[in-house]
């Protein structure tokens, strides 16, 4: 069997696809290779996994999908239900959780099936739609984390005037922008029919029933790099400044601790709360960067320098990026007492039996 390796830009990132160009029919007859669709001449061929391997992979991916969907759903319910969480900052977190929830509910399951089965069984239209949806949710997460970093910078640098500067109107504008830009970009990327210009030969070679291969030329790859790198650079710059400010404020509190009696001033309490929120969301941004940066760097190197990353290494980067969608709720659970309390009220069904909308979640 002769094979060629192509770079499939499905989900906006380099995904290696092994396309069979010439196939010895005797291999199929003796069962070394299988077809995605039996008795279909244009069917793709695949090397099937062992049943044990498939079972383990389905079990692992099912656990990951449940964690992603349930975790982000808990964030959505918590912020939507409890009035004390109805603040501009939490609205951004709510919108971020919504993007991760859609990713876990609609995108990751289909991608996992394709990865395990080595075939796409859901048609070309759904392939393009899910590719656009994947791009949409990924970019929405990046933009929302970028806006959250700006929010935290304002809150830490000037906590007293923060409520005046970062209002619900500003938050709604950023949330709208955080969805409108990814929607416009994703639809243009997938449905403009310019993504594979100049790659007609590769598209023809890879066209078979059971493939979900959407190729992107270097122009679109360069656009992808720019549109992802700008929010990431902004995010890292904002949090670098946040941690510098937090360090200065901590020193000021230490030097003035002896001069202040037992009662903290209102400004110091506000500053302490904003610093804590900034640190927690900084960890979320750091985790997101850790999960996405390897894939992002690999995408740039592969396409700009025509390097081919080993398939097993690429799969690690690819699924590590998806893992970030399930990570934020666990970060909130570990660092936010209010989130642990809301989760307890939700799982115990107390919010169904009594009115807990106005409960005090910030007792410290």
Phi and psi angles of residue 128, each rounded to the nearest 5 degrees, phi first: -70, -40
- Residue the block writes with tokens 């079990």: 59
User: Alpha helices of the chain — where are they, by DSSP H?
Assistant: 25-29, 51-81, 88-102, 108-117, 124-157, 162-165, 168-191, 200-206, 218-256, 266-305, 311-335, 337-347, 350-353
Q: Is residue 270 over pLDDT 60? A: no
How many Cα atoms are found within 13 Å in the side-chain-facing hemisphere of 51?
0
Q: Which of 192, 202, 229 is nearest to 7 (CA)?
A: 202
CB 56 within 8 A of CB 44: no
Q: Which of 327, 295, 317, 280 is nearest to 97 (CA)?
A: 327
DSSP string, 204-239: HHH--BT-------HHHHHHHHHHHHHHHHHHHHHH
Average pLDDT over residues 128-148: 90
Phi and psi angles of residue 21, each rounded to the nearest 5 degrees, phi first: -95, -40
Range scoring the smallest mean pLDDT among 42-46, 126-130, 345-349: 42-46
**What was the pLDDT predicted at 235?**
84
Q: Is residue 14 over pLDDT 60? A: no
State the Cα–Cα distance between residues 274 and 159, nearest whole angstrom. 7
80's CB contacts (< 8 A; 6+ apart) are 94
**What was the pLDDT predicted at 67?**
93
**What was the pLDDT predicted at 31?**
41
225-249: string of b/e by CB count within 10 Å (b at 16+)? eebbeebbebbeebbeebeebbeeb
pLDDT above 70 covers a percentage of the chain that reads 77
Question: What are 147-202's pLDDT values in tens digits?
Answer: 988 888 888 888 888 888 889 999 999 999 999 999 998 888 777 777 666 666 66
**β-strand 34-35 against 45-46: which pairing, if any?**
antiparallel
- Residue the block writes with tokens 């639809």: 187
State the Cα–Cα distance between residues 48 and 57, nearest whole angstrom. 13
Residue 335, judged by CB atoms within 10 A of its CB (0-12, 13-18, 19+), counts as middle
Average pLDDT over residues 274-286: 68
CB 74 within 8 A of CB 98: no
Range scoring the smallest mean pLDDT among 5-14, 52-61, 151-160: 5-14
- Within a 10 A sphere around the Cβ of 93, how many other Cβ atoms? 26
Average pLDDT over residues 106-127: 90
Range scoring the smallest mean pLDDT among 37-51, 149-163, 222-236, 261-275: 261-275
Domains of the chain: 50-353 (1.20.1070.10)
What average pLDDT does the chain have? 78
């Amino acid at each position: 069997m002769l094979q060629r390796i192509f770079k499939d830009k499905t989900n906006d990132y380099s995904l290696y696809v092994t396309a069979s160009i010439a196939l010895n029919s005797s291999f199929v007859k003796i069962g070394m290779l299988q077809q995605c669709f039996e008795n279909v001449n244009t069917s793709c061929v695949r090397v099937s996994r062992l049943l044990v391997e498939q079972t383990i992979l389905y079990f692992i991916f099912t656990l990951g999908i449940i964690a992603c969907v349930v975790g982000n759903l808990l964030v959505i319910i918590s912020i939507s239900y409890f009035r004390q969480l109805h603040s501009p900052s939490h609205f951004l977190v709510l919108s971020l959780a919504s993007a991760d929830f859609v990713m876990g509910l609609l995108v990751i399951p289909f991608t996992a099936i394709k990865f395990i089965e080595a075939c796409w069984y859901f048609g070309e239209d759904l392939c393009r739609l899910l590719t656009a949806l994947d791009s949409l949710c990924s970019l929405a997460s990046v933009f929302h984390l970028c806006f959250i970093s700006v929010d935290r910078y304002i809150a830490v640098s000037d906590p007293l005037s923060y409520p005046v500067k970062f209002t619900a109107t500003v938050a709604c504008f950023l949330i709208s922008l955080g969805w409108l830009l990814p929607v416009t970009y994703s639809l243009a990327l997938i449905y403009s029919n310019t993504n594979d210009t100049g790659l007609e030969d590769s598209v023809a070679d890879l066209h078979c029933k059971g493939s979900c291969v959407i190729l992107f030329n270097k122009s679109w790859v360069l656009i992808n790099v720019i549109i992802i790198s700008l929010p990431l650079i902004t995010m890292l710059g904002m949090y670098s400044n946040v941690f510098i400010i937090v360090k200065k404020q901590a020193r000021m509190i230490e030097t003035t601790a002896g001069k202040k009696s037992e009662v903290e001033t209102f400004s110091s309490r506000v500053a302490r709360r904003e610093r804590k929120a900034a640190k927690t969301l900084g960890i979320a941004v750091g985790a997101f960067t850790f999960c996405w940066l390897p894939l992002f760097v690999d995408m740039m190197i592969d396409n700009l320098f025509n390097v081919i990353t080993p398939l097993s290494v690429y799969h690690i980067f690819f699924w590590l990026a998806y893992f970030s969608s399930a990570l934020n709720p666990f970060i909130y659970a570990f660092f936010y007492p209010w989130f642990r309390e809301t989760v307890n009220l939700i799982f115990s069904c107390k919010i169904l039996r009594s009115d807990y909308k106005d409960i005090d979640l910030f007792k410290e």
